[in-house]
Structure 1
Amino acid sequence: MTDITRIKPGERMSQAASHGGLVWLAGQCGIAGQSVTEQTQDALAKVEALLLEAGSDKTRILSATIWLSDIASYDELNAVWDAWIPDGCAPARACGEARLAGEGYDVEIICVAAIA
């Protein structure tokens, strides 16, 4: 399995895995208890760092799935997302409401990107 690269592997999961010119990121969250704006900013900073480590960047994101603990915060999330994603680079994206893994988490962002 040398053609698969795992980034920040753990016992349960890796933060990212790449193969065949693509990188898949695990769900990235901000700090529990912060505002949706702050959690989104933190999650996107983690996404960006993982993409760079994998040899990619936010202009190469192919798809993003975003989970919110309350869909009423959709506009707050989008204000951060829209400022973060470069013009002309918007990926395919889905956003939905879900109960997240722990108390106080309100945003989780999952991406797939092409490697440069």
Structure 2
Amino acid sequence: MSDIKRIDVGARMSQAVVHGNTVYTAGQVALRAPGASVAEQTKDILARIDELLAEAGTSKEKLLIATIWLSDMAGFNEMNEVWDAWVVPGATPGRACVESKLAAPQFTVEIQVIAAL
């Protein structure tokens, strides 16, 4: 059986889990920019995802899938501008984006990714 590596383990969840050749992140919200614009929250989240992937031993070039939750689809284009500048051309993951009520009103974006090592 493969070893399981957990990153930033908390009482409720780990921020990332590595199993086999795959990294799974928890849904990330803008902890460094709560209440900021959709674009600023997206930038903050993607920077955190970069950090988690690096700690796991991989990077955004190896993304497999992303799930994005927006508190209001009116922010879809604003989020996509930041996303499109961040993702690696030719290595874009599968992706879903839906509108959903998030954990707290100051959060407008949440992103979870799965990547290969």
TM-score by length of 2: 0.95
Rounded to whole Å, the distance in 2 between the matches of 1:9 and 1:40 is 23
Measured in 1, the distance between the counterparts of 2:55 and 2:78 equals: 28
For residue 110 of structure 1, report the CA deviation from its aligned partner. Answer: 0.2
Contact kept in structure 1, 2:2 and 2:19, CA below 8 Å: no
Gaps of 5+ in 1: none
Q: Which of 57, 71, 74 pairs up with 2:73?
A: 71
> What is the CA-CA distance between 1:111 and the residue it aligns to?
0.2
Matched residue count: 115
Q: Which moved more, 1:34-43 or 1:2-11?
A: 2-11
Which position in structure 1 is the counterpart of 2:7? 7
Structure 2: runs of 5+ lacking an equivalent: none
> Which shows bigger deviation, 25-34 or 6-15?
25-34
Name the SS for the 1:49 alignment partner.
Answer: helix
Asked if the contact 1:62/1:114 (under 8 Å) is kept, the reply is yes
User: What is the aligned counterpart of 1:81 among 80, 83, 86?
Assistant: 83
Query: Normalization by structure 1: what TM-score?
Result: 0.96
Among the aligned pairs, what percent are the same residue?
A: 53
Counterpart residue number, 1:45: 47
Could you say what the CA RMSD is over the residues aligned between the two structures, in angstroms? 1.1
Conserved? CA contact 1:32–1:103, under 8 Å: no
* Cross-structure match for 1:97: 99
Q: 2:89 & 2:50 partners in 1: Cα distance?
A: 16
The CA deviation at 1:92 is 0.1
